Amino acid sequence: MAKVVVGMSGGVDSSVAALMLKNEGYDVTGLFMRNWDSTLNNDYLGNPNLNNQICPQEQDYNDALEVCKKIGIPLYRVDFVKEYWDYVFTYFLDELKRGRTPNPDVMCNKYIKFDMFAKKARELGADFIATGHYARLENGNLLRSIDTNKDQTYFLAQLSPKQLENVLFPIGHLEKSKVREMALKNGLNTAKKKDSTGICFIGERHFKEFLENYLPNKPGNIVDIETNKIVGKHVGLMYYTIGQRRGLDLGGNLDKYFAVGKDVNKNILYVALGDENPYLYSDKVLLENVNFISNLRPTKCTAKFRYRQKDVDVEIEYGNEIFVKYNNVKAVTPGQFCVLYQDDICLGSGIIKEVYKNNEKLWYL
């Protein structure tokens, strides 16, 4: 009987993944990862507003434990707090310092869930590892999930082919509604549990208040890029991303401004009026940290520049550097991942290093 170690998050997706594998006759073991120290910054210790609450991470563990008891599998717990800090959180802070918009969930999959976790699973005797990701694996290819609204291949596109060996995605062929239905039918306590949103280590806390613990605020000017006039003040460039409108706090008739760029050296946030303003659009990017999962190397395919963005038709220029060309896409942002697809096959991804328009690098990004 093949042994599978399932990453149990305390959510409904991993719960149903474990249930399905158990019903299919696998020898299933659950493994819960603790990746963040929730006592940092008095998040849950000494905070009068949270004194009567259990830390969400501990609640997740308790939920995972109850699920494992219900379906009759053991649950182990492993601590990756240091590794998460070194490989994910440090990257997150470094990208913000550069004025870029990071995606720590991608790095968590690359360095923690499909590396550290996989090694621990092998120590437990695993033949396979499994997670509750909405994705599929067929003939060595990473494919989008059947539920396109929940598809998570965007967050898996930095994984190597080696990391995807002996991996199972049990719910990748299911709609989310079916997953919840199965959880309810089998009496799992996570059946109606709300999906986690946002960055895992921030949780429900205010982004600005959290970051103040690690990066000093550097307020500066907000400048209209077309008139070069100061139209307001920002609280720190790290709190803004390209295409953002809400949170600029310009007031009055200025609420139609959108963030279009940053000058980190001068500490300026550039904005432009209107959601169709040309300064919001670009037509080419240079990628770094490019990772290919598939052996396919098409010159024409599709891409996503943000999670849940509609696919964009692109052309790839291969060489010592890899450029991706497209037709006038809005709010393409340095630091985010460009994920490439051929139909349902996820080809791989790269980090957006530079953004261009009409073959000129956008200096304000």
Q: Break the chain into its structural domains and give their ranges.
A: 3-185, 216-273, 280-361
pLDDT of residue 55: 66
Residues paired with residue 141 on neighbouring β-strands, in sequence order: 138
Between CA 349 and CA 333 the distance in angstroms is 14
pLDDT of residue 177: 97
**Lowest mean pLDDT: which of 32-46, 111-125, 239-253?**
32-46
Of residues 285 and 247, the one with the higher pLDDT is 285
pLDDT in tens, 159-202: 999 999 999 999 999 999 999 999 999 999 999 999 876 666 66
Query: 126-145 burial, b if ≥16 CB within 10 A, otherwise e?
Result: bebbbbbbbbbeeeebbbbb
Arch. (CATH architecture) of 280-361 = Beta Barrel (2.40)
CB–CB of 341/302 below 8 Å? yes
- Supply the CATH classification number for the domain 216-273: 2.30.30.280
Between CA 315 and CA 301 the distance in angstroms is 7
By annotation, the residues acting in catalysis are 108, 200
Contacts of 271 (CB under 8 A, 6+ apart): 222, 223, 224, 225, 231, 248, 250, 257, 258, 259, 260
pLDDT in tens, 273-323: 998 999 999 999 999 999 999 999 999 999 999 998 999 999 999 999 999
Q: What is the arithmetic mean of pLDDT over 232-241?
A: 94
Q: What is the arithmetic mean of pLDDT over 133-150?
A: 96
**Lowest mean pLDDT: which of 8-17, 73-82, 169-178, 202-211?**
202-211
Q: Which two tokens stand for residue 244?
A: 């953002």
CB–CB of 312/296 below 8 Å? no
**CA–centroid distance for 217 within its chain:** 24
Residues paired with residue 135 on neighbouring β-strands, in sequence order: 144
Give the pLDDT band of residue 340 (cuts 50, 70, 90). very high
Domain pair 3-185 / 216-273, same fold: no
What's the sign of the alpha-carbon dihedral 67, 73, 77, 83? negative
Q: Which superfamily is assigned to 3-185 in CATH? A: HUPs (3.40.50.620)
Tell me, what DSSP letter sits at residue 88? I
Of residues 48 and 349, the one with the higher pLDDT is 349
Give backbone dihedrals phi and psi of 57, rounded to 5 degrees, phi first: -65, -40
